[in-house]
Amino acid sequence: MGFKIQDRPILFGQIVGIVLVSIFLYVKSNGETIFTALFWIAQDMVIVAKIIREGTYQLMIIITILFSFILVYLSKNINNEIYKKNIIFLGSVCSNIFICFSVIFFMLNSGFFFGALVTIPFLIGCGLILSTLTQNLFNNNKSVFLKLSNCIYFLIILLLILPNFSSVVGMLPEPPNNNESYFGNGGDYIVEKTKIKINPEDFIFENMSEWSKEYDWNVYVFTPNPIPENMPLVIYIHGYEGEEEWVYTDSLETMASRGVAVIFPQYASNYDVSEYDPEMLIYEEGGSNHPQHEWRYSMTWDGIELGINYLESNYDEFDPSNLWVGGHSMGAGVSMYVVTKAINEGWGSNSLIFNLEAPWVYSNYEPFKGNMSYLPDHTIVNVVEYEDDNVVKRCVGVWEFNRIKTKDGFGELNESRVKYLKVYSDRSGFPKLIASHYIQATTIRDALADFSYYKRIDAQAYYLFGVANEDLNAITLAGKYFFGDDDDLTNMGSWSNGVSVREIDVYDDPFNSNLYECKSNPGSDLF
């Protein structure tokens, strides 16, 4: 390898860099799996990317060039060998930190970002340039080991920077702006938040993971201020490991600002299932028999009941006869059970919107399966899939849509009120618009989310309010954005160069048209 004594600071620095990143991953995992750590790192990268997008991304190039000149200057004016070794060591630590994060980024990009983040790899690449320069400028002995390291660094820098250069320097069109739309930015009501503690029942608590047992579980209730005369109810159910209400803050506040009460119940995502045989699991027709369903669903309903008790005790204006039930990912599966329970309570008797976002499986264990035959004829349904969603399988949503549309084989909802939507990505400009699994998360919010998701749920909330208060104008205006047949539902705006963003596709019956061959293949092979 041509390793020399002078290479020790570089080698030790590389080892220290790997150790530091390993510690960081452990902290991010909260004692859970590496996948948990990667999930939260992805969240952090999105936040950083959005900050950089606000106008600072061009500074990365300027700062990189400036610091490169500073490093060149210092290398020619620092003669102390101990100082040089320390600087080389520090540069090596930083280099390997950036190398590790580039590997993490490439992993996340292939399974999560799909090219949406261009500033993050550019930032990592700039950092790697500076740290590599540090190792080389202060090192007078260019060993084979150093040269080999440089080749690896150079290759990774190219992979990080070159594909994203045109985006970062402003050569691509900008995405559409939804500020001029009546929907997507919320209503005129001030939103207040109340937190109510949930004490999980013993049979739920005893099966939780250790982290879940230590978590502070709550149900959050969002209410408009002032309270309107007839205040409808929204029940929003989070996805897997989306327990924190801030994950969906924009969704919850957007809907509440339209004059509706929003209940957001937390449920534990993770449980100890080591005693169960994995071979017992059956995935079929969009559902599964996983034992975790019972605990998640029961905890969700307990939280909803606490939220209902709070609303009934404090607001005479509260009227759950006008109801919205929906969820994201795993929360969509939970919603199949929740909407059944809600209807049995008499909620949604006047109006009901049922909205499933990037849906994952429901429980096919009969007590928790839900019964779609209970859905009233006035139910309005949106089931939404996202093109670059690689977390859930397409057929899950198709099967769930069919259950809802056919009322579990006991009738059929009006076709004009039941829509299956497919949202597409568009990579024509910067930032790229990626229809991922996580578009509902506040940290992911972008122009595509504004047009495909926030505009729609905002209109749904306003529709409920309109029905509750017999406001025909509100009903007519809002309805076009989620069950209409015109451009209000499908239009995604235009790039700054005038080219339209790819529109939403609407399917009235994806199951019987055998979309994705779901009807032909109901079994586990699709999972």
Buried b (16+ CB within 10 A) or exposed e, 404-417: bbbbbeeeebeeeb
Encode pLDDT of 491-509 as tens digits.
999 999 999 999 999 999 9
Please provide residue 31's backbone torsions phi and psi, each rounded to the nearest 5 degrees.
80, 5
Burial degree of 32 (CB within 10 A; 0-12, 13-18, 19+): middle
The 10s digit of each residue's pLDDT in 219-262 is: 999 999 999 999 999 999 999 989 999 999 999 999 999 999 99
Q: Predicted confidence band at 29 (pLDDT cuts at 50, 70, 90)? A: confident
Query: Which long-range contacts does 470-476 make (Cβ < 8 Å, 24+ apart)?
Result: none
Q: Within its chain, how far is the Cα of 270 from the centroid?
A: 18
Q: Tell me how far the alpha carbon of residue 396 is from its chain's centroid.
A: 18
Give per-residue pLDDT as tens, 172-184. 898 999 887 899 9
pLDDT tens track for 110-159: 877 878 788 889 899 999 999 999 888 888 776 777 778 888 889 998 88
Give CA separation, 45 vs 38, 93, 158, 186, 465, in Å: 10, 21, 20, 27, 37
**Domain definitions of the chain by residue range:** 5-168, 190-526
The conformation of residue 433, written as its DSSP 8-state character, comes to B
Does the structure show a pLDDT above 70 at 2? no
Q: Which residue from 362, 368, 397, 393 is spatially nearest to 382, judged by alpha carbons?
A: 397
The string of pLDDT tens digits covering residues 401-450 is: 999 999 999 999 999 999 999 999 999 988 889 999 999 999 889 999 99
What superfamily does domain 190-526 belong to in CATH? Alpha/Beta hydrolase fold, catalytic domain (3.40.50.1820)
Whether residue 63 has pLDDT greater than 90 = no
Which ranges in 78-172 belong to alpha helices (H)? 81-108, 119-137, 144-161, 165-168
pLDDT at 378: 97
Which pLDDT belongs to residue 382? 98
Retrieve residue 64's tokens. Answer: 């990189």
Average pLDDT of every residue of the chain: 90
